[in-house]
Amino acid sequence: SSELTQDPAVSVALGQTVRITCQGDSLRTYYASWYQQKPGQAPVLVIYGRNNRPSGIPDRFSGSSSGNTASLTITGAQAEDEADYYCNSRDFSANHGFGGGTKLTVL
């Protein structure tokens, strides 16, 4: 399955901007999707494709990609954004994979 690498933890001051990254060879060809998961809840899709947000996701969430790295940026982080974030993508065999997750702390 797709091998994706994320930093285990990131912190951001309230109202500041934070970038969460995901690295993997498959990202040179395929887009990553990003999921937010809060304790005891199912994951929620926040970014997919080039930079698309599902209905209901605030526009402070955005996505980008360069080379083998995909990024999720939160511009003006809020307390409710504190959560685990996972990237996902397919590989060249059409298998999927998730990154190891990044725990975001909002200070």
Partner 1 sequence: QITLRESGPTLVKPTQTLTLTCTFSGFSLSTSGVGVGWIRQPPGKALEWLAVIYWDDDERCSPSLKNRLTITKDTSKNQVVLAMTNMDPVDTATYYCAHNTYYLGNNHFDYWGQGTLVTVSS
DSSP conformation class of 1: -
| Position 56 contacts partner 1 (CB under 8 A) | no
Cβ atoms < 10 Å from Cβ of 43: 17
Q: What is the helix, strand, coil percentage profile of the chain, to 5?
A: 5, 50, 45
Q: Residue 70 CB, nearest distance to partner 1 (Å)?
A: 12
Among 14, 54, 58, 105, which residue interacts with partner 1 (rule: CB under 8 A)? 54
| Position 10 contacts partner 1 (CB under 8 A) | no
Q: What is the dihedral of CA 19, 52, 3, 5, to 10 degrees?
A: 10
| Position 94 contacts partner 1 (CB under 8 A) | yes
| Position 65 contacts partner 1 (CB under 8 A) | no
How far apart CA 84 and CA 20 sit, in angstroms, is 11
Q: Residue 97 CB, nearest distance to partner 1 (Å)?
A: 6
Of the two residues 48 and 75, which places its CB atom closer to partner 1 in the complex? Answer: 48
How far apart CA 58 and CA 101 sit, in angstroms, is 21
Binding site for partner 1 (CB under 8 A): 1, 30-31, 33, 35, 37, 42-45, 48-49, 54, 86, 88, 90, 93-101
